[in-house]
Amino acid sequence: METLWPRIERILPTVSKPARYIGGEQGSQSPEHGPGKVAWLLVYPDTYEIGLPNQGLQILYEILNERPDALAERSYAPWVDMEAAMRSAGVPLFSVEQHLPAAAFDVLAFNLSAELVYTNVLNLIDLASIPLRASDRGGADTLVVAGGHCAFNPEPLADYVDAFVLGDGEEAVGEVNDVLACWLASAAPEARDRAELRRALAHVEGVYVPALYTPEYAGGRLTATRPNDPAAPASVTKRTVSDLASWPYPSRPLVPLTEVVHDRLNVEVFRGCTRGCRFCQAGMITRPVRERPAEQVRQMVRRGLEWSGHDEVALTSLSSADFSGIEETVRDIVDAPEHEGQVSVSLPSLRVDAFTVGTAAEIQKVRRTGLTFAPEGGTWRMRTVINKLIREEDLYGAVDAAFSQGWRRVKLYFLIGLPTERDEDVLGITELGARCVEIGRRHHPSVTVVASVGGFVPKAHTPFQWFGMDTAAELERKVALLRAEAKTVRGLTVRWHDPAASVAEGLASRGDRRMGAVIERVWRAGGVFQEWSERFDLSLWEAALEAEGLSLAELCHRERGQDEVLPWDHISAGLHRDFLWGDWQDALARVAVEDCRWTPCYDCGACTGFGLEHVVASPLPPAGGSQGTGQDLTGADRIPVRLVARGS
């Protein structure tokens, strides 16, 4: 295939941010295409500045390009002006490295990090000149695969994606490549058997092939999703990399030539979470916790900074302050002689009960990076329901630590629309914010506390997967309560996510296979970049639902029963369904569960399902309290905490 660059170059002066499409970043590779190599086009279905920092894509990019039988290039969603220009000029989707058309690749692989990009996925398949529906593709057509957190409910995109990779991709991508290499060599393109490829992929652990399963309905509701081919297992279980130290990627991170979000060196310090927040899909589906050795973290930071020239490093995870020896690791990075005191450290995911004055002091030595804490619920009652065991004292201590070390702006993140929520729980958000402002003024006369509020969307494989989410109107009413109350507090700013967009996200995240037709209708009506506020349009989703005979009330706002079949029941994140149901009942009863690193096993399935052994990290903290607080959570005037495995 010849490069499309001459045709692309003529378009660039007519579009915004042309640097999105030129490539040439440090770390980018221009692999040689040819026989014996499976060619992957890794696609992030959002703009370049959103997609380039994505760690998952960068990790697979390096792993594939290290293989002698594979190669990988990248592509991102062109903004609407570029797409229009491309379609007008007959330019298909292309790679940013060598500007080759998508047809030059054997695989189009999507990273699915957010549900509202689903219309972009369809748009990019079409822009790549690949048949939109998997059932219409033949032996000569590019394979369409997808992975990422959203793949844990693959059904809304099942008609359009040939295969989903569930869970960690480091090992699975090589096995998929092996299957493809054999299939590509089996016959001339037109003679290849696509059905044979599907069956071969279904034998790869963690790979779900939708065409091999048939959903069944009765009375307008899903009753089962069953295999229609002997090659397909009844349930597909995610892949889990047990030893994170074996995969020190990315080792040569991409350094952009234009502004991107999170423009810094990102080093993953651990994967998974044991905190047990009931609303958090990432915390559930990435279990168990696997830490990267501290020395390897320091090596990755040192090499990454030398390679990239960045002066900021983010130590990433779902709760970075929980990393063993986090203060020492931060200190070693900041004080390293080779950094000459010019490298700052940020911890993007901070638990307030694990954030100390010592951590704050280390972080701010070079530069005070942004601080965001996530209490999630406005009251202790609400935080008990969602199992975010953060007391007001925890939050105030963390905020005081930050302001005492020179910060003047702190961001707090909350959810509204949570199960059992009352208006007093919502108004508790402003009460917490006001108190944080008051604490800040002990250290500075002028401080700002930003309370960022999002509408809760129940997700697959969490204890809240049975919950019926709030309507847009109810979320808007709660936002109005907050706005009115916040106006009385100087120094407190409330920001909120569009409630209508939360409802559309609920549709895309909770729907069964029938949702695919809705997504296609939204796309055909011009609904791309639906995760961008200036492009989002709920009326497109409502019209598409009506045309397909579906409703928001049925799909989003209705609570499910214990025995109801869920669209993702044939997908396993390694968690026992009865564990999730029991945790849902505990939530309704306001029964909290401690971090399982400090307790006997709850038998969620995450460890035993992958041949790992649950080990209590150390004896319980003083007085049975949560880590680092010393607060009693078990007394008669406190909430009950389960400290034993269910059923024991």
> pLDDT per residue over 94-115, tens digit each?
999 999 999 999 999 999 999 9
d(CA 45, CA 325): 36
Give the DSSP per-residue string, 423-442.
HHHHHHHHHHHHHHHHHHTT
Within the chain, all domains assigned CATH 3.40.50.2300 are found at 5-225
Q: Which of 75-79, 342-346, 348-352, 589-593 has the highest mean predicted lDDT (pLDDT)?
A: 75-79
d(CA 141, CA 144): 9
Does residue 641 carry a pLDDT above 50?
Answer: no
Q: Position 200: which residue type?
A: A
Least confident of 59-63, 297-301, 557-561, 640-644: 640-644
| Mean of all residue pLDDT scores within the chain | 91
In angstroms, the Cα distances linking 191 to 102, 130, 196, 289 are 21, 18, 11, 45
Does residue 382 carry a pLDDT above 70?
Answer: yes
Q: What is the pLDDT of residue 632?
A: 35
Q: What is the pLDDT of residue 349?
A: 67
Q: What is the pLDDT of residue 645?
A: 35
The third-level CATH classification (topology) of the domain covering 264-368 is: Transcription Regulator spoIIAA (3.30.750)
Measure CA 125 to chain center: 22
Q: What is the pLDDT of residue 634?
A: 33
Does residue 420 carry a pLDDT above 80?
Answer: yes
d(CA 427, CA 492): 13
Question: What integer is the mean pLDDT of 397-414?
Answer: 92
Please write the tens of the pLDDT for every residue from 467-483.
Answer: 999 999 999 999 999 99
Please write the tens of the pLDDT for every residue from 257-282.
Answer: 999 998 999 999 999 998 899 999 99
Q: Is there a contact between 11 and 85 (Cβ–Cβ < 8 Å)?
A: yes
Q: Give the pair of three-digit tokens for residue 578.
A: 């009865």
Does residue 516 carry a pLDDT above 80?
Answer: yes
d(CA 108, CA 75): 9
Strands (E) in 129-273, as ranges, are: 143-147, 163-165, 207-208, 213-218, 221-227, 236-237, 265-268, 270-271
Higher per-residue pLDDT: 31 or 347:
31
d(CA 455, CA 552): 16
Q: Which burial class, exposed, middle or buried, applies to 36 when counting CB atoms under 10 A from its CB (0-12, 13-18, 19+)?
A: exposed
Within the chain, all domains assigned CATH 3.30.750.210 are found at 264-368
Q: Is there a contact between 282 and 314 (Cβ–Cβ < 8 Å)?
A: no
Q: CA angle, 497 as apex, 494 and 500 as ends, to 5°?
A: 135
Q: What is the pLDDT of residue 612?
A: 61
Measure CA 277 to chain center: 15
Closest CA relative to residue 256, chosen from 25, 536, 465: 25
pLDDT tier for residue 616 given thresholds of 50, 70 and 90: low
Strand, helix or coil at 178?
helix
Instruction: Give Rg (Cα) of the chain.
Output: 25
The third-level CATH classification (topology) of the domain covering 5-225 is: Rossmann fold (3.40.50)
Please write the tens of the pLDDT for every residue from 164-200.
Answer: 999 999 999 999 999 999 999 999 999 999 999 999 9
Strand, helix or coil at 353?
helix
Does residue 617 carry a pLDDT above 60?
Answer: no
